[in-house]
């Protein structure tokens, strides 16, 4: 099956750089109206709102980056469909398809950039990319701007992308030309899995508290300036005194008539202002909502013990596994499936499996002890495996496939792991 040589369908237009800032003067009613508009199909508004909140709030950006990078930092691999428990097809063809898909995506620079774009769906619950084809080969994967997206309820109930030719209705975001990644897909509608509603409320709380805190800090500790004038003072004299009192707050210099009396009253103790506690609460809520816990991000204030933080870190690992499963499902169905079946020209071509390889933390002392115990009970262990588990490069003159000898000294902590080789 050959596709025609394709230019990108969704092109960047000059107006894409000129957008309305949704978070400017954001209030609860305005945030609610944006979400309601998105519920009506204009989901691009929600994606733009979420992006702006992330750009403005360092705490939100930090916790989102923590969760996303937990996924994107993991190396990836493509394995044969033969590894699936339900596989019943041609094993040779499955292995050939996996090798082809891996080579093609490894050579495609856009694929490395597409993975972080897909991870951006963590939070707003939607990220869209465009597959660009040349004949039967995928030659590019381009991100699609979030504010281009619409959801058509009345006709196809499908995601659409606005273009210059179709600015109102848009074109369907369908395979094999588009990839729509929804990590928390619920009945096919992305906003049922989005965090935008919860995050918007916390963003507003933090935004209001920060502004009030800045205003409070501006006058905190500043003495109250009181001016007194004679009962017969004129209006111009009163305005002059008021202007001078204001200048004292910045210039600390003023010129008064002898008929005017000036008094300074020191500010009282205002150390119990609630703004910091409000900000701390909102920060914890953001961490809990996005990471499932907060002890791996909050290290001050006696929020928990190391053991509790370790337990909650495993909660974050569970979220990472869930994100990896959603990512693998999207890539297999929306990238690897069309790539495989278009290239081989067969609808029954086995589709390879994309997956992340979890980083393994190895305790080399425990590994040495395990290998030694295995040798003592008669297990045949290749020398290359022992070098790998110990984190030691295999020397050029060592055959990694040769087996280690049984340790001769029981008291040796590592035994004779690298002493001899079975002939």
- Other Cβ atoms less than 10 A from the Cβ of 419: the count is 14
d(CA 359, CA 361): 7
CB 353 within 8 A of CB 78: yes
Contacts for 234 with CB less than 8 Å, ≥ 6 apart: none
pTM: 0.72
Residues 68-105 pLDDT 10s: 998 999 999 999 999 887 888 889 999 999 999 999 99
CA gap 118, 325 in Å, rounded: 13
Confidence of residue 233 (pLDDT cuts 50, 70, 90): confident
The pLDDT of 250-254, averaged and rounded, is: 62
pLDDT tens for 275-323 read 778 888 888 888 888 887 666 556 555 555 555 455 455 556 788 889 9
pLDDT score, position 192? 77
Q: How is residue 62 written in tokens?
A: 């930090």
Domain borders along the chain are 14-197+321-356, 223-266, 361-423
Q: 33 or 362: whose pLDDT is higher? A: 33
Interval 151-162: pLDDT, tens: 876 666 788 898
pLDDT computed for residue 280 by the predictor: 85
CA distance 346 to 200: 47
Distance CA 211, CA 148 (A): 32
Q: Which residue carries 């003495």 as its tokens?
A: 223
- Of 216 and 119, which is predicted with more confidence? 119
- Are residues 60 and 199 in contact, defined by beta-carbon separation less than 8 angstroms? yes
Among 144-158, 250-264, 382-396, which stretch is predicted with the lowest mean pLDDT? 250-264
Q: What's the Cα-to-Cα distance from 409 to each of 158, 387, 412, 421, rounded to whole Å?
A: 70, 20, 6, 16
Give the Cα separation of 226 and 236 in Å (integer).
17
């Amino acid at each position: 099956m050959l596709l025609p040589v394709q230019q990108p369908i969704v092109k960047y237009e000059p107006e894409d750089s000129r957008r309305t800032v949704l978070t400017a003067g954001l209030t609860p009613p305005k945030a609610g109206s944006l979400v309601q508009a998105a519920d009506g199909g204009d989901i691009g508004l929600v994606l733009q709102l979420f992006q702006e909140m992330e750009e403005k709030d360092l705490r939100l950006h930090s916790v989102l980056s923590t969760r996303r990078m937990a996924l994107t930092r993991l190396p990836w691999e493509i394995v044969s469909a033969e590894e699936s428990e339900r596989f019943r097809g041609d094993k040779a063809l499955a292995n050939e398809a996996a090798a082809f898909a891996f080579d093609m995506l490894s050579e495609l620079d856009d694929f490395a950039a597409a993975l972080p774009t897909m991870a951006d769906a963590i939070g707003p619950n939607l990220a869209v990319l465009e597959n660009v084809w040349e004949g039967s080969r995928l030659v590019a994967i381009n991100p699609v701007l979030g504010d281009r997206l619409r959801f058509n309820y009345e006709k196809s109930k499908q995601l659409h992308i606005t273009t210059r030719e179709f600015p109102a209705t848009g074109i369907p975001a369908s395979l094999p030309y588009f990839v729509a990644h929804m990590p928390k897909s619920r009945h096919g509608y992305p906003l049922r899995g989005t965090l935008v509603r919860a995050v918007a409320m916390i963003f507003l709380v933090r935004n209001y508290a920060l502004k009030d805190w800045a205003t409070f800090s501006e006058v905190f500790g500043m003495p109250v300036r009181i001016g007194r004038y004679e009962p017969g003072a004129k209006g111009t004299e009163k305005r002059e005194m008021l202007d001078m009192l204001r200048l004292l707050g910045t210039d600390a210099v003023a010129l008064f008539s002898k008929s005017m009396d000036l008094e300074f009253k020191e500010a009282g103790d205002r150390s119990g202002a609630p703004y910091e506690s409000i900000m701390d609460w909102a920060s914890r809520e953001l961490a809990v909502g996005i990471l499932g816990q907060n002890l791996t991000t909050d290290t001050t204030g006696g929020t928990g013990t190391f053991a509790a933080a370790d337990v909650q870190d495993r909660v974050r690992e569970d979220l990472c596994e869930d994100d990896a499963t959603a990512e693998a499902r999207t890539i297999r169905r929306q990238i690897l499936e069309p790539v495989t079946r278009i290239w081989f020209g067969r609808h029954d071509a086995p589709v390879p499996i994309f997956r992340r390889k979890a980083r393994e933390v190895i305790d080399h002392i425990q590994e040495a002890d395990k290998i030694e115990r295995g040798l003592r009970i008669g297990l045949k262990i290749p020398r290359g495996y022992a070098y790998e588990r110990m984190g030691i490069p295999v020397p050029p003159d060592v055959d990694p496939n040769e087996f280690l000898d049984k340790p001769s000294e029981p008291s040796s902590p590592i035994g004779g792991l690298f002493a001899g080789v079975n002939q």
